[in-house]
Chain A
Amino acid sequence: MTYIRPTFRHPELPKNKLGYTLSYYEGALSTLCAGCGHDSISAAIVQSCYEMDIQPHRVAKLSGIGCSSKTPAYFLSNSHGFNSVHGRMPSVATGAYMANRDLIYFGVSGDGDTASIGMGQFVHAVRRNLKMVYIVMNNGCYGLTKGQDSATADMGSKSKAGSVNPFESIDLAGLAMELGATFVAQSFSGDKHQLTPLIKAAINHNGFAFINVISPCVTFNNNPGSTKSYDYVRQHMETTGMMDFVPIAETIETNYSEGTHKEVKMHDGSFITLNKLAQNWDPTNKVSAMNALHAARAKSEVLTGLLYFNAEGKDLHHVLNSSARPMNTLSEKELCPGNDKLKGINEELM
């Protein structure tokens, strides 16, 4: 969408604890279509980082290729970004995380980028419990090449051109859970109130946080018969519960009555609070979460909200027993054993 954004900012815009306004977290102008769900997700990322008082330069945003993968240019312009190659963002993110464990990593991908060409890398990033927020902007089609079905298009879903998808779809949230993701959520780009706290909790999570966001493609997949259109998703959304993220050291204020309220403690003492819980669902129990997901799917509904959460998972650096200091800060003296040691090595080889 092309328009001229006003440069004037109201001098009394609210600021966060770092003294930054919301606009400081924005990026370049979006070139996506007007009404694209992806822009709403970018806005939720901006909102989340603003509200969490995140230093933008402590964030690295990475993506693959496609409409979704263009979005890192449209949020957090004070962060380093890396638009890599198609389906390969997970490996670039893995390497980046190996080099510096102290940054916050946003991986942004699409359904083509993750569920087709990048499936191999996606599943292994999940397995390694990389500490990152992995967002799939899922519209069930290839937008940038004009609307071909993707692997997340539901069987029977109709494309704009009228063809019906004959293949089974890939359920990314279920797959992530199956592979051991320690934070799995699903949301809808049209529901910022749900998405923003999910992103905040994901940022705070000490492991792989996966959010599958249904994000309708207004140009190629918003037609009647499509199961990824705004209308369809609004009519078929079922929510696990209202939720909020409560950072460490903040008191919890709740308006909900007993029995419908659950708090999930995160690794650092922060809480995710869940209200109006779906029946027979426990977000800390994988079997229960999988059942809830399958039950919704059987009813052709999209279950949104936090699906599964496990604060106990060990992230990649824990498994690798890495130094607490980022690899990229280690000095030459710490890294190079020196010539004396080499003499000993030579002697052993004589």
Chain B
Amino acid sequence: MSGTGSKVNDFVVRLATVNGTGSASANFLFAKSIFRSGVFMTPKNIFPSNIQGLPTWYEVRVSEKGYLGRREGIDLMVAMNPQSMLQDVKNVRPGGYFFYDSTKPLHPQFKRDDINYIGVPLMELCNKEYTDARQKQLFKNIVYVGALSALLSIDFDILVQLLGEQFKGKEKLIAPNIKALQMGVDYIHAHYKYPLEFRVEKRDLVKDMIVVDGNNAVGLGAVYAGATVLSWYPITPSTSVAEAFADYCHQYRVDKDGKNNFAIVQAEDELAAIGMVIGASWNGARAFTSTSGPGVSLMNEFLGLAYYAEVPAVLIDVQRTGPSTGMPTRTQQSDVMEAAYASHGDTKHLLVFPSTPKECFDMTADAFDLAEQFQTPVIMLTDLDLGMNDHVSEPFVWDDKRKFKRGKVLTAEQLEKMDKFGRYLDTDGDGIPYRTYPGTHPTKGAFFTRGSSRDEYAVYTEDSAAYKRNVDRLLKKFNTAKEVMPAPHFYQDKNKSKNALIFFGTSTYSAEEAMDLLKDSEGAGEKVVLDAMRLRSFPFGKAVEEFIATHDKVFVIEQNRDGQMRSLLMIELGIHPEKLISILNYDGLPITADFIQKQIKKTLVPAKTVSAQ
């Protein structure tokens, strides 16, 4: 076995399956059983833009230390897909294991001398046991989970318990599933030495943590934030945001008469989706939409209008790779620039960057507050990795004392006392004017909403001075937001290095691990200590500016080709390009810690050390 360090509670299993064969729930059962053993695990779906028949992979990393990023080096490949088998054999690390269906002998082309083979005649076992073709397929998945549990020493009782939860209400299905698991276990026990040298040992590491995907957390967050209107258009990887919101609404938002305290419309396109959000927000409801990069492109025009007309809007952008079909089921952080300056003319938008499901939940609630406080669009940038993959996360918490921040909205009583209402007057000197909802007062507070050609009283004008006053006030409002937006997270109380690391969103998992690797690097290479900051919002406040100012070299880790966050930092803070060094991963797969640490060492450590690796 080569020195990848794979051992107890520290290994990677990749399951290669065909999509549409029911493998997803079996794979989740496998991953969840590790979590229930009290050990950290992180599953990643690598799937095609397709419903049935194409290769799909499910990769589970197990980590005693709690590293939740992706890791290179596959210790155990579960090869259930003949279509991808050649590639799958190649991807096993030397000394690793290749698990396959041995009903038919393995073709010599799949043979390697430096890996171990575990054959289980899955089809044969299922053919003997089941008659129905679909059952044979579905139970084959459960049989391999059983075999894996034996190889990796996963407690059988945990699997039984999980099946009980999964088939609650359909108890008839529990016994046959347990039987299938047992078939897998028995075969391993009879034919192989078990467990493997890397395996699961029970721990009490995950405590009260939960397993959930980011999209689910966003949907739940929107329910807690009081969103009542959702309009959306189906697009991978954001669709499950709308589905989660709808599911939670049906659970928690139906009144005693059976009527819905929410309204959801599947729009005809993304243009209409954001239009409905703007119409609803203008009318005083909390409204949102979820989409991905192509949808944000279509929403650009409306986002500009909302910025100028000062209408709140919450937009969830679950980022993905590229336009059209092909890579939309792969992850990226490539909408940073698109979101920051969406639309024509002088526009900039408030952005938040969650990195965990818990933060998806919290920041969704924050996004509604911020959108209404600042009367402007707020775009949350998550990504496919965070949105669609399950993550081990801190549990959700809601402070029951928390009140929605609805911003400066005048009531009928306040209007009654007013002499003259000016929709776009900067009464408080923070750039944020007062708004009224339609229908508030019989004679006061009505105004005409339009783009930019109006004065402080919302009266039409094409006067240059009035236009300039307005856009300058919008900038002032934007600056006011800087210190109200979610603050960055720092990894040190006091700076201790002249070099630093900046990252955001899902790059966080691997960035944190890379810092540890650099600090503890064994043998080859020098120990590298870096200060680090995780960005959580845009525009950047003072703390971000100071952090960069007090370091010589700052690495900016992101998952796009052009270093978009780096550009944004340069543009908005006027930072010299030489100071900011990009670390970029943009192949559609989540960034890894190993990749980050190598990139950093290349820059910071003398060349001969690097070549020794």
Q: Which A residues lie within 8 Å of B273 (CB)?
A: 91
- Verify if A155 is at the interface (C-beta below 8 Å from B): no
Chain B residues whose C-beta falls within 8 Å of the C-beta of A73 in the assembled complex: 448, 460
Closest to B396 in A: A342
Which of B231, B280, B287 gathers most chain A CB within 10 Å? B280
Chain B interface size, as a band, is 35 or more
A341 adjacent to B210 (CB under 8 Å): no
**Chain B interface main SS type:** loop
B275 touches A342 (CB 8 A): no
In the bound complex, CA of A123 to CA of B267 (Å):
12
Contact of B260 among A55, A56, A320, A341 (CB under 8 A): A320
Question: B280 near A58 (CB under 8 angstroms)?
Answer: no
Q: Which of chain B's residues have a CB closer than 8 A to the CB of A297?
A: none
Residues of A within 8 A of B258 (CB): 321
Docked complex Cα distance between A9 and B451 (Å): 33
A99 near B275 with CB under 8 A, answer no
Please, how many angstroms separate the alpha-carbon atoms of A334 and B403 in the complex?
13
Interface segment among A75-83, A167-175, A221-229, A278-286: the answer is A75-83
B272→A120 contact, CB < 8 A: yes
Q: Is A268 interfacial (CB 8 A cutoff)?
A: no
Contact partner of B285 (CB less than 8 A), chosen from A80, A99, A103, is A99
B446 touching A335 by the CB < 8 A rule?
no
**Contacts of B395-412 to chain A: CB distance below 8 A:** 395-400, 403-404
CB <8 Å contact, A327 and B263: yes
Set of chain A residues within 8 Å of B449, measured between Cβ atoms: 80-83
How many A residues are at the interface, by size bracket? 35 or more
Q: Is there a chain A Cβ closer than 8 Å to B90's Cβ?
A: no
> Is A323 an interface residue when CB atoms closer than 8 A count as contact?
yes
Q: Closest Cβ of chain A: how far from B252's Cβ, in Å? A: 4
Q: Would you call A339 an interface residue if the criterion is a C-beta within 8 Å of the partner chain's C-beta atoms?
A: yes
Q: A79 and B272: CB pair below 8 A?
A: no
B83 at interface, CB cutoff 8 A:
no
Q: A57-B441, A57-B442, A121-B271 are in contact. Are A342 and B284 (CB under 8 A)?
A: no
- Docked-complex contact B226 and A335, CB < 8 angstroms: yes
In the complex with contacts A121-B271, A327-B263, A335-B283 CB distance below 8 A = no
Q: Tell me whether A121 and B275 are in contact in the complex, defined as CB-CB below 8 angstroms, given that A85-B305, A99-B284, A346-B210 are known contacts.
A: yes
Whether A332 lies near B272 (C-beta < 8 A) is no
Q: Does A298 contact B (CB under 8 A)?
A: no
Measured CA separation A230–B252 after assembly (Å): 57
Query: Least Cβ distance of A272 to chain B in Å?
Result: 27
Flag if A124 contacts B226 (CB, 8 Å). no
Judge whether B439 and A100 touch: CB under 8 Å. Answer: yes
Residue contact B285 to A100, C-beta cutoff 8 Å: yes
Taken together as a complex, chains A and B put the C-alpha atoms of A56 and B274 apart, in Å, by 27
How far apart are the CA atoms of A317 and B459 in the complex, in Å? Answer: 33
List residues of B (361-404) whose CB comes within 8 Å of A's CBs: 395-400, 403-404
Contact A336 B260 (CB under 8 A): no
A123 to B210, CA, bound (A): 44
Q: Are B261 and A330 neighbours in the complex by a CB distance under 8 Å?
A: yes
Q: Are A72 and B283 in contact, with the CB atoms below 8 A?
A: no
Is A94 interfacial (CB 8 A cutoff)?
Answer: yes
Output the nearest chain B residue to A103 by Cβ-Cβ distance. B439
Smallest beta-carbon distance A316→chain B, Å = 8
Question: What residues of B have a CB within 8 angstroms of the CB of A55 in the complex?
Answer: 442
B400 with A345: CB separation less than 8 A: no
Q: Does B492 contact A (CB under 8 A)?
A: no
Q: A58-B439, A91-B275 are in contact. Are A120 and B269 (CB under 8 A)?
A: yes
Q: With the chains together, A93 CA to B276 CA distance in Å? A: 7
Q: Are A99 and B280 in contact (CB under 8 A)?
A: yes
Chain A residues with CB below 8 A from B439, complex form: 57-58, 60, 80, 100, 102-103
Q: Does B447 contact A (CB under 8 A)?
A: yes
- Please measure, in the bound complex, the distance between the C-alpha atom of A332 and the C-alpha atom of B259, giving whole angstroms: 17
Partner of B275, one of A28, A92, A338, A339: A92
A99 to B282 alpha-carbon distance, docked (Å): 9
Residue A349 lies at the interface, judged by CB distance under 8 Å to chain B: yes
Taking A88-B275, A92-B275, A323-B255 as contacts, is the C-beta distance between A100 and B398 under 8 angstroms?
A: no
Chain B residue at minimum C-beta to C-beta distance from A101:
B263
A interface list, Cβ under 8 A from B: 28, 55-58, 60, 62, 72-73, 77-85, 88, 90-100, 102-103, 120-121, 123-124, 128, 316-317, 320-324, 326-328, 330, 332, 334-339, 341-342, 345-346, 349-350
